[in-house]
Each structure stands twice: as structure tokens, then as C-alpha cells.
Amino acid sequence: MPKKGTHTPLAPIGDPADSDSLYAYLRRFLEWMRVKNYAERTTENREVYLRYFISWCDERGLSRPQDITKPIIERYQRYLFHYRKPNGEPLSIRSQHTRLTPVRAYFKWLARENHILYNPASDVELPRLEKRLPKHVLTPSEVETILNLPDATTALGIRDRAILETLYSTGIRRMEVIHLNLYDLDAERGTLMVRQGKGRKDRMVPIGERALAWIGKYRDEARPELVTVNDDGTLFLTSLGEAFTRNRMTQLVREYVKAANIGKSGSCHLFRHTMATLMLENGADIRFIQAMLGHAELSTTQIYTRVSIRKLKEIHTATHPARLERTKNRAETETAQRDDATGAAERLLSTLAAEADEEAHDDAAE
């Protein structure tokens, strides 16, 4: 199986001299994605899953786009359903969905560019994804137990506490934490700028005073011990003075959750789930949570794009449990759509659970 995220050239599939093969068109499709400025991570993911499909086709003597029909794609879909991993477990519904989505995008591109007469994947129905709630959500006391584990007398301990506080306060994604830069924080306004988040979108989110205090302590006392001569401004650094990798950040957070011995497991996404859940329980309007998380949409009737950072900061201060000084003011968090709040919250948490599945799937493919 090809290794996801690798930057070394991968072996061609089928006849490398055939310029009209499925594999040859795959190379053109990937080039088109890069020209159109798709995120490199998205491009790499699509290559991985399309190589699975093209290899499956090649084993069955199907080498050209014109050879592929709707029944063949449906046959591949059944193959994914019956496939068993080395440990005997089937692919999850989300994994099946993830492998089929690039196939649909690939054939849509082939048809649009007139490389084939029609799109055989246009009417293929993808597996229906389950709407699930997060497996684990922390209580405020459990969060505090985890946050108090790092040794604040060491540079690495201060760094780790600052990372955990940032995850809990903002709910930003793992890669968004990794890519934070020193100049992305505005302590005066109590905000944090997420640059080129998922979907290559920038967004500004509020961050609590306690998290800012720990980041400031890390920046002033710990980071100077970790930084190297070639400082590119990355906020959180490893012991080698480098930016974190995805797996290293996951490992760091997971070890603290495990060490807390609270009977729950998880990593970065656990804090994302928890932040959203606790703010909802404390009365925050679903639209404000949605804006903080950077979700494109929750439903067609709930639009959040005009939410101001000032209002979002007020809601965060009023409803997030981690505060230097606790307040009980929730008057501004009342929503005119309270009758629909329960269903909207379930949809939000289901989306978070899907994100966690996607992140876990990415890690498994590393």
C-alpha cells in the first residue's frame, strides 16, 4: 500500500508508456488540482485512494478510463464493503466513504475535461455516514486534572501546559495548533488567528485569559530554551527546536490524557469536543460554537459568517469553563432558536465525531 503523505515518487501502475491509462490521467488530475491551488494534503489524500482504485482495476485488466462503467465502480464499492484488514476487521463505513469520494471527483474531472464521454460515477450512491456523538467528552474537573499534569518547573512542562490550554480554550484542530506562529496571538484583544485552516480558510477565534497567560509564560521563559538559530516563528517547538509533526502532537496529548487515569482516551480532538460541549451546556448559541470551530455550515438556515469577533469573544468569556475570574452572566447567550438547539447541538457534535474519525484514519495510514 502506498504511504500517505510521502513526497517520494511512487511506482507507476500498469504500463508506464501508456499515456491514456487510468494512471496517466491520475497524474494529470493531480497536476490540475495543484494548479487550482487545492491543499497539498487534499491532493496527497486523493492520490493515495485513487491509487488503491487504479491498482484494483489493473488487477482485473481495466487500464483505461473508457473501460470503467457504473457497474464496475459499484463492484469496487462492494469490494470495499467485504474487504478485511490484516487484523480481520472490516473497513469502517467512513473509510469506505473516504476511499470512494476521490473516485467520484476523478471521473467528474475526466468527464468535464472531455477525456470520457460521460461520468460513470455520477449516479453511484456513497455509503450513508452514521451520525454519532463523540465517544468521550471530558468534564471540567477531568480537564483540570489533565491540565495540571505537566511539570511547570521545566521548559517542556510549561510548553505542554500551554499547548493543552490552547486546545481547550480555542478548540482548534491539531494541525492548526502545529501551524500557529508567534504573531498569530493578540493578547490585548484576547484573540488568536488561525491561518489557512481546513479548506485554506483564515479565521479569528477568541482565546481565554488563562490560556494566554500560559502561552506568555511559555514564550518568555520556555521557548528561548528550545529555539534554534533558524527561528521561523513557529509558536510551539519540540525539544529539537522544530515544529511538531501530526503524530508527535497526537502522542504528546494522548500521553497526558492516559496519565490522568480518568478512564477516558483521546488526544487533540478530545479537547475540541469538550470545548464545544461545555460551551453548549453553558448556554452558548450554536452559531458561535460553529464560528469558533471553523465549520463551513451546520445547516442551510443557520448562517454565522457575520458573527463579529467582539461578540464571539463575549460569548467565549461567558460560557467557557476555563477562566481566571468566573462570571455567571449568560444573558447574552440566549438564543431565539432554542426550540431547535438540541437538534443543532447533536448535528454539531456528530460533525466533530466525524472529524475525529477522519483524523484517526489519517494517522492509521501514516
Of 159, 295, 316, 347, the catalytic one is 295
**295 a catalytic residue:** yes
pLDDT at 329: 44
Of 94, 99, 179, 269, the catalytic one is 269
**316 a catalytic residue:** no
d(CA 160, CA 222): 10
H/E/C letters for each residue in 235-259?
Answer: CCECCCCCECCHHHHHHHHHHHHHH
**287 a catalytic residue:** no
Of 161, 223, 272, 320, the catalytic one is 272
Of 38, 52, 83, 304, the catalytic one is 304
Helix (H, G, I), strand (E, B) or coil at 154: coil
**198 a catalytic residue:** yes
The model carries a pTM of: 0.63
pLDDT at 327: 43
Of 161, 173, 179, 320, the catalytic one is 173
Q: What are phi and psi of 206, to 5 degrees?
A: -75, 150
**320 a catalytic residue:** no
Do 291 and 312 meet the contact criterion of CB atoms below 8 Å apart?
yes
Helix locations, 36-183, DSSP H = 40-59, 70-82, 93-112, 140-147, 155-170, 174-178
Task: From first to last of the 366 residues of the chain, give the pLDDT tens digit.
Answer: 444 444 456 788 888 889 999 999 999 999 999 999 888 888 999 999 999 999 999 999 999 999 999 999 999 999 999 999 999 999 988 889 999 999 999 999 999 999 999 999 999 998 887 665 556 788 899 999 999 999 999 999 999 999 999 999 998 999 999 999 999 999 889 888 988 766 667 888 899 999 999 999 999 999 999 998 888 899 999 999 999 998 999 999 999 999 999 988 888 889 988 888 888 888 888 878 888 888 765 442 233 334 456 666 777 787 787 765 544 444 444 444 444 555 566 666 666 666 666 665 555 544
All structural domains of the chain, each given as residue ranges with its CATH number in brackets, are 22-112 (1.10.150.130), 140-364 (1.10.443.10)
Of 198, 203, 273, 316, the catalytic one is 198
**173 a catalytic residue:** yes
Of the candidates 46, 56, 248, which has an alpha carbon nearest to the alpha carbon of residue 163?
248
pLDDT at 346: 63
